[in-house]
Amino acid sequence: MRILGIETSCDETGIAIYDDRQGLLSHELYSQVKLHADYGGVVPELASRDHVRKVIPLIVKAMQDADTRASDIDGVAFTQGPGLVGALLVGSSVGRSLAYAWEVPAVGVHHMEGHLLAPMLDDPAPTFPFVALLVSGGHTMLVKVAGIGRYEMLGESVDDAAGEAFDKTAKLLGLDYPGGPLLAKLAQQGTPDRFRFPRPMTDRPGLDFSFSGLKTFAANTIREQGDDNQTKADIALAFETAVVETLAIKCRRALEQTGLNRLVIAGGVSANISLRQKLESMMKKSKGEVFYPRAEFCTDNGAMIAYAGMQRLLAGQHEGLDARAKPRWPLESLPAV
């Protein structure tokens, strides 16, 4: 089976062709970072319009690269949610229209399920069951994964997610959008232990996350300590360390609670080198395993949507012709495969 995957949930247009025997045949990605940089964040209407402009040319390019004709496509997968409703409708409308024209099934994919399964694109791939830490944009969640669609929510962010806190703190430090990667780069120049930031919600039981207070702590520190370059780097390092250690503490608790010793991290923040090193060290000590996608598949991409859609289509799941989008969509509501 050969699948076309379409990702348009936010500010990146991702297209991929995936074959269940040959694997990933091609993938294209267009980022709208420059478009939104002047506004300091994503402008939903501009994002939707740019998806309209880019999605068809990227589909054509991906199919050419994969040496694939329309008659070779057995199904179309698109991101149905969660995300920006206008952006989702672009992918949904195009995906369903192509499926109708090509007389193949279409399937709507949950964006976070795509991230969760992204490590499956590499070898070795994780095997079920495992605990997944999903840190993508506005989401931070811990999930017990017994199989595809067999998800138990263990904890999630109650306010700002880790990615949002990274971007907002980066803005306070005067960094450009998107600030998370720039903050991590600045942190490399920081002086260890000059500042110590709190590890939010680690002094109480439970697996939920809260990063808004950490952002406020960073804002107060910036205001009180001045804004010379070294101080900014020191604050960036203290902030990053607090986020990384908080995530690691919660992951360790989740593994202990579930009795599992296999961890998957995915989503944009999973590309953070400090987070990977911390979790690798933690899992090595416990003789466990940790998996994460290659860097290009940490952020939004069509490959993860094509792979997740493939699993759903192989199980006989597909959508009708009405172009629906689900800006809010609980992960644990998905049917099992």
Residues annotated as binding site for substrate? Answer: 134-138, 167, 180, 272
Q: 18 phi and psi, to 5 degrees?
A: -125, 135
**For the purposes of burial, counting CB atoms within 10 Å of the CB of 273, is it exposed (0-12), middle (13-18) or buried (19 or more)?**
middle
Residues of each annotated binding site for Fe cation: 111, 115, 300
DSSP 23-52: EEEEEEEEE-HHHHHTTTS--HHHHHHHHH
Residues of each annotated binding site: 111, 115, 134-138, 167, 180, 272, 300
317, 335 contact by CB (below 8 A) = yes
Q: 51 phi and psi, to 5 degrees?
A: -60, -40
Contacts of 44 (CB under 8 A, 6+ apart): 84, 85, 86, 87
Radius of gyration for the alpha carbons in the chain, expressed in angstroms and rounded: 20
